[in-house]
């Protein structure tokens, strides 16, 4: 067996946190992790947020983000402990031997510099190549990664290329200095599912062709199964399980791994439409002020009481704009909306209080949807006061009822949002929406920012509440697994139009239109070789056409 | 982008016209009468009436405004009521003196402030940062006349390096002039340094939080190179803004320093004529100061637009 390229032993990482009103204290983020990575191999690091994946990845470059500090253990790269090496050597390592691909290429590229300059910078600075050599190599990598116009794309600025293209440029940036190891930190998480599959394939090919080793960090087991040789499952800074990809996916040993593999196991039988829909959206067309194109084109959908309509599509397809039109934030230029038998006025300001009360919203970022200086009790109590005029003991009783409904129980009333976990915050937002006794709740990507297991809990809660309160959901999401779990009917949106609409079983059964087919087949499946299968299938189809 | 630039320019011009109206109207409603001022309390009513007619003070305000504006556009700022001298000529000489002083203060202060700002970022929260902050804050907190007198005592009297009075005339060579204005230049530098340095520091620190700085760090680049190549280009707009405000101050706000050093600049000229109620001079000075302010801020706006990659290189 060859010597490992990366050898991590007893790695401990800590940080100092500054809780409001308390003394700063040190916490451990990673408690003693061991692993090896052989040259040319790919190790997937998987876990939920807070598991320490990124922290471990950056530790292989002797880097701590923010106040994070490596407190113990050793990290050997090519046989040399980089935690004990002088800083000058660490700088040689960064950008030379080990490089990094971040989650958000859009933020990780300097907006003021051309792409080529940034892609070749490390290779030139580390004296790996001359400028001409580095640029030739960059063009070669652009071509290999399937970027359009590889000769000239380097002269563009980051804002001039799309998100998926920029993520590939970031991969080129990491591969340009011919490193021994690349740390991929959630490189496809921020991308649309149809873009993700192409970037994933490009990264996989690039890893294979250049023979570089990689740490592939993600929270999505189905994604990591496509690229890695081994997988390490992490939970709260400790290793849960380590094995070959095949073993982790097909024969997980630990309960936590099993839970990750079988996530999204909710079974939901679709309900039949009733006689009168609670929400009728008819031929809605809308555009934003000062623009000259329609963001929504002739949208017509229905939603029945106590049911869920999933609106699914990529970013920019107009999903959230539809929500803005229904809530009255963006008056449409044509069409009308009927809610519970009444025609809704286009503009929010002219709607009666009952229309406002019966139509509530829950947002993607629970963090920013709550006033950080109000307690949970105040946040949930506000709609009770505003819509029902509840006060004193009566209000307290209702708040506690709502907290029980969202399974948070006693003691949460006095807490502030900052003291809650991501899942708990989203539950409080759900309680706030429920407090108004709405007939319809618009859920805008409510589980997208959450870890899979937490998201699962939220979806189960939403279904449970729907059964009990007979509330309808307009569920906006880009995630098809979520759609399967919760929807009764589905509207697929593409570039401002509904391209497919019907009951869940109709929409998800063939024959498909081209876009729905692309969308459905792009969702990573938790099996080995899925990526190759899909790409082969697509190639055959396009050859057949 | 061209459209945006032209828009800004037009806006600046409009602003200047509005300011001219304001200045004209403002000096109109001031109490007091120039004719009375010139002739003294014992003047006869006939003499006052004659002088008013002669000075054109009886014309309707609108006519006088357009006469005045037309004169300015042709380079004629009118004649000073008190001395009968051409304002254009007087101001020409005074303004060039003021600009001379402002120029040399800027040449020293701007690069120094930016350099200190970069240094403060490089050694953030360590002693060089704290020292720079403390010193520049001290100099901005002390009133400028105080710094002026302290420096006169110390540099001019104790050490005897430079003269304490900054009198210059056309007969002097550039070196003689520079020698004369050395102390006021130091005073002005100390006054404007802190503002610019702190803005540079804040703007760059703000940029240093960005993910692309982490990318640069993970390329193994050194701190100074990261600041220079990746942080500074993205912090230019706020820095230029504060630099321009301070340059405007160097031209417009130096009255006190000019008085302390008996420097024959715009400030002193303005103060003299305000006390004499010489309206045309005050109007002319006000308009020039406004033009400098608007012009420099316009430049700052234009630079912000020009350095924004999204505007410079549209999709």
Compute the C-alpha angle A67/A71/A73, nearest 5°.
140
Nearest residue in chain A measured CA to CA from B212: A108
Q: Which residues contact A382 (CB under 8 A, 6 or more apart)?
A: A432
Interatomic CA distance for residues B88 and B85, integer angstroms: 9
How far, rounded to the nearest angstrom, does the alpha carbon of residue A513 sit from its chain's CA centroid? 26
What is the residue-averaged pLDDT of chain A? 88
CB-neighbour burial class of residue A194 (10 A; exposed 0-12, middle 13-18, buried 19+): middle
Q: What are phi and psi of B139, to 5 degrees?
A: -70, -30
Return the number of other C-beta atoms located less than 10 Å from residue A127's C-beta: 10
Distances (CA, A) of A351 to A143, A233, A325, A343: 55, 51, 13, 10
Position with higher pLDDT, B79 vs A5 = A5
Tokens representing B32? 């007091």
Q: Is A99 on the interface with B (CB under 8 A)?
A: yes
Chain B positions in Cβ-Cβ contact with residue A107 (cut-off 8 Å): 210-212
The 10s digit of each residue's pLDDT in A17-51 is 776 667 777 888 888 889 999 988 999 999 887 78
Interchain contact, A113 vs B233, CB within 8 Å: yes
- Sheet architecture: strand order including A342-343: A296-303, A279-286, A334-339, A342-343
Q: Would you say B183 and B161 are in contact if contact means Cβ atoms under 8 Å apart?
A: no
The 10s digit of each residue's pLDDT in B33-82 is 666 766 777 778 888 788 777 767 777 778 878 887 888 788 777 777 77
Interatomic CA distance for residues B279 and B258, integer angstroms: 22
CB-neighbour burial class of residue B45 (10 A; exposed 0-12, middle 13-18, buried 19+): exposed
Interatomic CA distance for residues B156 and B2, integer angstroms: 51
SS3 A372: coil
Question: Which of A248-252, A298-302, A512-516, B277-281 is predicted with the least confidence, judged by mean pLDDT?
Answer: B277-281
pLDDT at B90: 82
Interatomic CA distance for residues A85 and B167, integer angstroms: 62
Interchain contact, B211 vs A104, CB within 8 Å: yes
Mean pLDDT of A371-394: 90
Interatomic CA distance for residues A55 and A47, integer angstroms: 12
Q: Domain B89-268 sits in which CATH superfamily? A: MetI-like (1.10.3720.10)
Find the radius of gyration of the CA atoms of chain A.
25
How far, rounded to the nearest angstrom, does the alpha carbon of residue A358 sit from its chain's CA centroid? 30
Tokens representing A445? 């990507």
Nearest residue in chain B measured CA to CA from A65: B214
Rounded to a whole number, what is the distance in Å from the CA of A299 to chain B's nearest CA?
A: 29
Distances (CA, A) of B45 to A310, B41, B51, B277: 90, 10, 10, 20
Interchain contact, A110 vs B218, CB within 8 Å: no
Q: Which residues contact B142 (CB under 8 A, 6 or more apart)?
A: none
b/e code A227-245 from CB counts within 10 Å (16+ = b):
bbbbbbbbbebebbbbbeb
Q: Is A317 on the interface with B (CB under 8 A)?
A: no
CB-neighbour burial class of residue B101 (10 A; exposed 0-12, middle 13-18, buried 19+): buried
Cβ–Cβ pairs < 8 A, chains A and B: 76
State the residue for tokens 């406004």: B290
How far, rounded to the nearest angstrom, does the alpha carbon of residue B76 sit from its chain's CA centroid? 23
The 10s digit of each residue's pLDDT in A54-106 is 889 999 998 888 778 888 888 999 888 888 888 888 888 998 899 999 888 88
State the residue for tokens 């839970």: A259
Find the radius of gyration of the CA atoms of chain B.
24
- Pick the residue of A86, A112, A116 with the most B CBs within 10 A to test the interface with B by mutation: A112
Distances (CA, A) of A110 to A158, A479, B216, B232, B239: 7, 30, 9, 11, 18
Report the residue from A102, A125, A159 with minimal CB separation from B215: A102
Run of H or E including A216: strand A213-218
End-to-end alpha carbon distance in chain A: 48
Position with higher pLDDT, B313 vs A264 = B313
Return the number of other C-beta atoms located less than 10 Å from residue A264's C-beta: 16
Q: Where are the alpha helices (DSSP H) in A211-343?
A: 221-227, 245-250, 255-261, 319-327
Mean pLDDT of A205-230: 89
Compute the C-alpha angle B204/B209/B211, nearest 5°.
120
Interatomic CA distance for residues A266 and A458, integer angstroms: 11
Q: Would you say A20 and A418 are in contact if contact means Cβ atoms under 8 Å apart?
A: yes
SS3 B79: strand
SS3 A67: coil
| HEC sequence for A409-457 | CCCCCCCCHHHCCHHHHHHHHHHHHHHCCCCEEEEECCCCCCCHHHHHH
Tokens representing A99? 């490089």
Mean pLDDT of A167-173: 91
Return the number of other C-beta atoms located less than 10 Å from residue A365's C-beta: 16
SS3 B300: helix
Interatomic CA distance for residues A391 and A397, integer angstroms: 10
Q: Would you say A296 and A496 are in contact if contact means Cβ atoms under 8 Å apart?
A: yes
With 70 as the cut, is the pLDDT of residue A115 above it?
yes
Q: Would you say A521 and A541 are in contact if contact means Cβ atoms under 8 Å apart?
A: no
Interchain contact, B307 vs A112, CB within 8 Å: yes
Rounded to a whole number, what is the distance in Å from the CA of A111 to chain B's nearest CA?
A: 7
Distances (CA, A) of A360 to A327, A337, B262: 8, 16, 71
Interatomic CA distance for residues A435 and A404, integer angstroms: 12
Distances (CA, A) of B159 to A417, B142, B148, B152, B164: 64, 22, 15, 10, 11
With 60 as the cut, is the pLDDT of residue A1 above it?
no
Interatomic CA distance for residues A454 and A476, integer angstroms: 18
Position with higher pLDDT, B163 vs A465 = A465
Chain A positions in Cβ-Cβ contact with residue B226 (cut-off 8 Å): none
Compute the C-alpha angle A82/A83/A85, nearest 5°.
60
Cis peptide upstream of residue A511 (ω within 30 degrees of 0): yes
pLDDT at A498: 92
Tokens representing B97? 């003196």
Q: Is A373 on the interface with B (CB under 8 A)?
A: no
Return the number of other C-beta atoms located less than 10 Å from residue A348's C-beta: 15
- Looking at residue B143, the DSSP 8-state letter turns out to be -
Distances (CA, A) of A411 to A376, A408, A415, A489: 10, 8, 8, 38
Mean pLDDT of A187-208: 85
Nearest residue in chain B measured CA to CA from A156: B313
Run of H or E including A91: helix A87-93
Chain B positions in Cβ-Cβ contact with residue A59 (cut-off 8 Å): none
Interatomic CA distance for residues A48 and A281, integer angstroms: 38
Report the residue from B212, B307, B310 with minimal CB separation from A108: B212
Run of H or E including A276: none
Interchain contact, B230 vs A91, CB within 8 Å: no
Beta strand A296-303 with A279-286: parallel, antiparallel or unpaired? Answer: antiparallel
User: Could you list the pLDDT tens digit for every one of the 315 residues in chain B?
Assistant: 778 888 888 988 898 889 888 888 877 776 666 667 667 777 788 887 887 777 677 777 788 788 878 887 887 777 777 777 878 888 888 888 888 888 988 999 999 999 998 888 888 888 888 998 888 888 888 888 888 888 888 887 788 787 777 777 777 777 877 777 888 888 888 888 888 898 888 888 888 888 899 999 999 898 888 988 899 888 888 888 888 888 888 888 777 888 888 888 888 888 888 887 777 788 888 888 888 888 888 888 888 888 888 877 776
Backbone CA torsion sign across A159, A162, A166, A172: negative
Q: Where are the alpha helices (DSSP H) in A487-529?
A: 504-507, 514-521
Q: Would you say B118 and B239 are in contact if contact means Cβ atoms under 8 Å apart?
A: no
Mean pLDDT of A229-241: 90
Interatomic CA distance for residues A445 and A369, integer angstroms: 13
Q: Is A63 on the interface with B (CB under 8 A)?
A: yes
């Amino acid at each position: 067996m060859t010597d490992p390229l990366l050898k991590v032993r007893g790695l401990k990482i800590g940080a100092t946190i500054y809780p409001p009103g308390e003394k700063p204290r040190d916490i451990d983020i990673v408690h003693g992790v061991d692993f090896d990575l052989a040259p040319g191999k790919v190790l997937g690091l998987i876990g939920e947020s807070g598991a320490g994946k990124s922290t471990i990845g950056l530790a292989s470059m002797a880097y701590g983000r923010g106040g994070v500090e490596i407190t113990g253990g050793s990290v050997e790269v090519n046989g040399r402990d980089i935690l004990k090496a002088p800083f000058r050597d660490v700088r040689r390592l960064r950008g030379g031997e080990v490089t990094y691909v971040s989650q958000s290429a859009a933020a990780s590229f300097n907006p003021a510099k051309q792409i080529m300059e940034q892609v070749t910078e490390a290779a030139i600075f580390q004296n790996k190549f001359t400028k001409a050599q580095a640029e030739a190599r960059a063009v070669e990598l652009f071509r290999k990664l399937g970027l359009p116009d590889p000769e000239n794309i380097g002269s563009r600025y980051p804002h001039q290329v799309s998100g998926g293209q920029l993520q590939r440029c970031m991969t080129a940036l990491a591969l340009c200095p011919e490193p021994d190891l690349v740390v991929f930190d959630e490189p496809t998480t921020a991308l649309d599912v149809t873009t993700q599959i192409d970037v994933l394939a490009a990264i996989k090919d690039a890893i294979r062709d250049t023979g570089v080793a990689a740490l592939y960090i993600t929270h999505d087991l189905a994604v990591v199964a496509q690229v890695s040789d081994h997988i390490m499952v992490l939970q709260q800074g400790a290793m849960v399980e380590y094995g070959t990809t095949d073993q982790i996916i097909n024969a997980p040993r630990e309960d936590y791994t099993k839970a990750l593999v079988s996530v999204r196991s909710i079974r939901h039988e679709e309900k039949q439409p009733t006689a009168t829909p609670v929400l009728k959206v008819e031929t809605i067309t809308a555009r934003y002020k000062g623009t000259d194109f329609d963001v929504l084109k002739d949208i017509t959908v229905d939603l029945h009481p106590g049911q869920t309509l999933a609106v699914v599509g990529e970013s920019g397809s107009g999903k959230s704009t539809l929500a803005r039109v229904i809530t009255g934030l963006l008056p449409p230029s044509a069409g009308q909306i009927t809610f519970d038998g009444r025609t809704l006025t286009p503009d929010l300001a002219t709607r009666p209080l009952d229309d406002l009360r019966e139509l509530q919203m829950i947002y993607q970022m629970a963090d920013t949807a709550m006033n950080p200086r109000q307690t949970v009790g105040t946040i949930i109590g506000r709609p009770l006061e505003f819509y029902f005029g509840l006060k004193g003991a009566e209000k307290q009783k209702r708040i506690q009822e709502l907290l029980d409904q969202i399974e948070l129980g006693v003691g949460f009333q006095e807490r502030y949002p900052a003291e809650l976990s991501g899942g708990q915050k989203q539950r409080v937002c759900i309680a706030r929406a429920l407090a108004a006794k709405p007939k319809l709740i618009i859920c805008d990507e409510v589980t997208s920012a959450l870890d899979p297991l937490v998201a699962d809990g939220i979806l189960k809660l939403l279904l449970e509440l729907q059964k009990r309160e007979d509330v309808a959901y307009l569920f906006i999401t880009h995630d098809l697994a979520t759609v399967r779990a919760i929807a009764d009917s589905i509207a697929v949106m593409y570039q401002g139009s509904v391209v497919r609409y019907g009951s869940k079983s109709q929409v998800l059964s063939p024959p498909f239109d081209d876009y729905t087919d692309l969308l459905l087949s792009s969702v990573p499946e938790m099996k080995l070789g899925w990526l190759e299968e899909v790409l082969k299938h697509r190639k055959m189809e396009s050859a057949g056409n | 982008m061209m459209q945006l630039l032209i828009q800004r320019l037009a806006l600046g011009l409009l602003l200047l016209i509005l300011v001219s109206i304001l200045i004209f109207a403002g000096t109109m409603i001031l109490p007091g009468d120039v004719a009375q001022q010139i002739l003294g309390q014992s003047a006869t009513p006939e003499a006052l009436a004659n002088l008013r007619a002669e000075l054109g003070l009886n014309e309707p305000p609108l006519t006088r405004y357009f006469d005045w504006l037309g004169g300015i556009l042709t380079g004629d700022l009118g004649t000073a009521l008190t001395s009968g001298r051409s304002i254009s000529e007087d101001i020409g000489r005074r303004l060039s003196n003021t600009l001379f002083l402002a120029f040399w203060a800027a040449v020293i202060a701007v690069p120094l402030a930016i350099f200190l700002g970069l240094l403060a970022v490089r050694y953030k929260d360590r002693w060089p940062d704290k020292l720079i902050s403390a010193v520049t804050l001290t100099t901005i907190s002390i009133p400028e006349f105080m710094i002026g007198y302290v420096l006169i005592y110390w540099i001019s009297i104790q050490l005897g390096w430079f003269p304490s009075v900054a009198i210059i005339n056309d007969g002097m060579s550039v070196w003689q002039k520079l020698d004369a204005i050395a102390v006021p230049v130091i005073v002005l530098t100390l006054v404007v340094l802190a503002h610019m340095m702190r803005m540079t520091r804040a703007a760059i620190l703000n940029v240093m939080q960005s993910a692309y700085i982490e990318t640069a760090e993970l390329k193994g680049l050194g701190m100074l190179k990261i600041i220079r190549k990746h942080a500074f280009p993205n912090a230019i707009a706020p820095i230029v803004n504060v630099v321009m405000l301070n340059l405007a101050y160097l031209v417009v706000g130096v009255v006190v320093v000019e008085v302390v050093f008996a420097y024959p600049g715009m400030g002193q000229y303005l103060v003299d004529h305000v006390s004499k109620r010489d309206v045309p001079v005050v109007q002319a000075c006000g308009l020039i100061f406004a033009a400098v302010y608007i012009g420099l801020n316009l430049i700052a706006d234009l630079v912000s637009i020009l350095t924004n990659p999204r505007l410079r290189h549209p999709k």
